[in-house]
Structure 1
Amino acid sequence: MRLIPTLALCATALTAALPAVADDAPGKVVTIITSADAQTQLMGMVLTMQSMKTGASGHMLLCGPGGDIALKDAPESATAAQPPMGMSPQGLMQKIREAGATVEVCAIYLPGKGAEADVLLDGITVAKPPAMAAALMDPDARVLSF
Structure 2
Amino acid sequence: MKDRFFASIALYSALIATGVQADAIDKALVIVNSGSVQTQGMAMVLANTMQAKGTQVDVLLCDQAGDLALKNTTSTPLKPKNVTPEQLMSKLQKGGATINVCALYLPNSEHAASDLRDGVGVAKPPAIADQMIDDHLRVFNF
Per the normalisation by structure 2, the TM-score is 0.85
Q: Distance in 1 between matches of 2:112 and 2:47?
A: 27
After superposition, give the CA deviation of every residue in 1:12-33 in whole Å (9 maximum; x if it has no partner).
x528x86xx7551111111011
Q: Could you say what the CA RMSD is over the residues aligned between the two structures, in angstroms?
A: 2.2
The runs of 5 or more residues in structure 1 that have no matched partner are: 1-8
Deviations 1:76-108 (A, max 9, x none): 4xx221011111011100110111000000001
Which residue number in structure 1 is paired with residue 58 of structure 2? 59
Which residue in the other structure is 2:39 paired with? Answer: 40
Return the alpha-carbon distance in structure 1 between the equivalents of residues 30 and 42 of structure 2.
Answer: 11
Question: Which of 124, 134, 137 is equivalent to 2:120?
Answer: 124
**What does residue 14 of structure 1 align with?**
11
Q: Secondary structure at the match of 1:112?
A: coil
Whichever residue aligns with residue 122 of structure 2, its letter is V
Larger radius of gyration: 1
Q: How many residues align?
A: 132
Partner Cα distance (1:69, 1:24) in 2: 32
**Larger helix share, 1 or 2:** 1
Give 3-state SS (helix, strand or coil) of 2:108's partner.
Answer: helix
Number of the residue aligned with 1:25:
24
Unaligned runs of 5+ in 2: 1-5
Residues in 2 aligned to 1:40 and 1:67: alpha-carbon distance in whole angstroms:
13
- Equivalent in the alignment of 1:70: 69
Match of 2:82 among 47, 67, 86: 86
Give the structure-1-normalised TM-score. Answer: 0.83
Paired residue for 2:134, among 112, 135, 138? 138
